[in-house]
Amino acid sequence: MADETENPAPDGAAAPDAEAVAAATADAATSERVLNQDEIDSLLGFDVNDDALQDKSGVRAIINSALVSYERLPMLEIVFDRLVRLMTTSLRNFTSDNVEVSLDNITSIRFGDYLNSIPLPAILAVFRAEQLDNYGLFTVDSNLIYSIVDVLLGGRRGSAAMRIEGRPYTTIERTLVQRMIEVIMNDMVQAFEPLAPVNFTLDRLETNPRFAAIARPANAAILVKLRIDMEDRGGRTELLLPYATLEPIRKLLLQQFMGEKFGRDSIWEGHLATELWSTRVDIDAILDEQIMSLNKIMNMQVGETILLNATPESKIEMRCGGVPLLRGRMGRVGSAVAVRVDEAVQRTDASKGL
């Protein structure tokens, strides 16, 4: 019995120590808690499911702040709307099928990020904009490739196109896709025609994104996503234009409407031209010019006469602001001295600059 009464005392004394150790262990576990991937993405502002790249928070917002927004180029959206209408008509004629083309969205993206996001297999068409002296990129996904091949080779409506993954595209498939891309290129030429004449020519077809590099990975680009539907078949095609390609026509793309003139007012220009034509100016009639020494001029007295080397038949030159304009002969009309204009002076490059 003595042993039983002595044991609780040590146990009771040891209990507070055990609770302190447990609390310290829990605090340590809480301070060393590891965040999962979802919490990290939420903290940094990343979302792997956001295909539109429109997140505006976290580190992603800081990274994307340097990207060029297509909203700063209002005319670009008008050009692509026109492209959609042209493609709908031309692809209907090309496939002899009911084709509907729709514009999904227009976004800004870095070129390197786009190459990494291309779903493979796909065909990448590199084209050249001749007047802009740069390149662009067309991406055709596998669904659209097999749909075009099925339609052009007489596939039945209502049946899904046969897809064989894991093999390279055949020559026939590449040729048919190339013909479709050439049709779209012609539509692009017409879409840009009201804004600026640009010729788009196909440079090459690639299946590996690494071989379709037309810009540095960090360069900004405009990405246009198009959807092509042929009843129960169809797919996506994407147009990528680096910002460097659009730089030569950037001022035109900044227009709010077609034909806008920045910093100019045609009404004011017309009024200014009208007022200039009615402006009164002073014209000097030069009878003669002589070179005299400064000493002689300083010593001239009142009453001295300067003889002019001019006769009644000599031609008088008329100047405005020192610029020769007309030549004529001096005479008299009533009580006023007059000059009859005989010819206009041919202005030289030096006089035009005055």
β-sheet bridge partners, residue 317: 286, 327
Portion of the chain with pLDDT greater than 70, in percent? 74
Average pLDDT of the segment spanning 318-324: 87
CATH number, domain of 157, equals: 3.40.1550.10
CA torsion 341→342→348→351, rounded to 10°?
A: -10
**pTM for this model (two decimals):** 0.56
**Gap between the Cα atoms of 232 and 151, Å rounded:** 11
Domain co-membership, 226 together with 325: no
pLDDT at 36: 76
Portion of the chain with pLDDT greater than 90, in percent? 22
Whether the Cβ atoms of residue 124 and residue 141 lie closer than 8 Å to each other: no
SS3 content of the chain, % helix, strand, coil (to 5): 40, 25, 35
Domain co-membership, 216 together with 329: no
Is 49 part of a structural domain of the chain? no
* Residue range 198-226, pLDDT digits in tens: 999 999 999 888 898 888 888 889 999 99
Is 339 part of a structural domain of the chain? yes
DSSP 8-state symbol, 33: P
Residue 53 — very low, low, confident or very high, per pLDDT cuts 50/70/90? very low
Domain co-membership, 96 together with 237: yes
pLDDT at 138: 92
Average pLDDT of the segment spanning 126-134: 91
* Residue range 220-266, pLDDT digits in tens: 899 999 999 987 788 899 999 998 898 888 888 887 766 555 556 67
**Gap between the Cα atoms of 259 and 75, Å rounded:** 10
Residue 5 — very low, low, confident or very high, per pLDDT cuts 50/70/90? very low
pLDDT at 227: 93
Is 55 part of a structural domain of the chain? no
Lowest-pLDDT range of 9-13, 147-151, 271-275: 9-13
Residue 164 has pLDDT above 70, yes or no: no
Residue 91 — very low, low, confident or very high, per pLDDT cuts 50/70/90? very high
CA atoms within 13 A on the CB side of 23: 6
- More confident: 47 or 133: 133
Is 248 part of a structural domain of the chain? yes
> How many domains does the chain fold into?
2
- At 280, list the tokens: 């009164």
Domain co-membership, 331 together with 228: no
Residue 26 — very low, low, confident or very high, per pLDDT cuts 50/70/90? low
Domain co-membership, 142 together with 99: yes
DSSP 8-state symbol, 57: S
**Gap between the Cα atoms of 82 and 191, Å rounded:** 6
pLDDT at 90: 93
Lowest-pLDDT range of 3-12, 25-34, 124-133: 3-12
Four-residue CA torsion sign, 329, 330, 331, 333: positive
Q: Compute CA distances 217 → 125, 214, 248, 297, whole Å.
A: 18, 9, 21, 77
- At 284, list the tokens: 């000097």
Domain co-membership, 202 together with 328: no
Whether the Cβ atoms of residue 108 and residue 67 lie closer than 8 Å to each other: yes
Is 275 part of a structural domain of the chain? no
Residue 23 — very low, low, confident or very high, per pLDDT cuts 50/70/90? low
**Gap between the Cα atoms of 151 and 230, Å rounded:** 9
Residue 32 — very low, low, confident or very high, per pLDDT cuts 50/70/90? low
The DSSP annotation for 87-133 comes to HHHHHHHHHTS--EEEEEEEEEEEHHHHHHHPPSSEEEEEEEETTTT
171-192 and 142-152 are packed helices; what angle lies between their axes, rounded to 10 degrees? 100
Is 21 part of a structural domain of the chain? no
Q: Which domain holds residue 186?
A: 70-253
Domain co-membership, 233 together with 320: no
Residue 136 — very low, low, confident or very high, per pLDDT cuts 50/70/90? very high
Domain co-membership, 223 together with 327: no
**Gap between the Cα atoms of 180 and 189, Å rounded:** 15
Q: List the end-to-end C-alpha distance of the chain, in Å, as a whole number.
A: 127
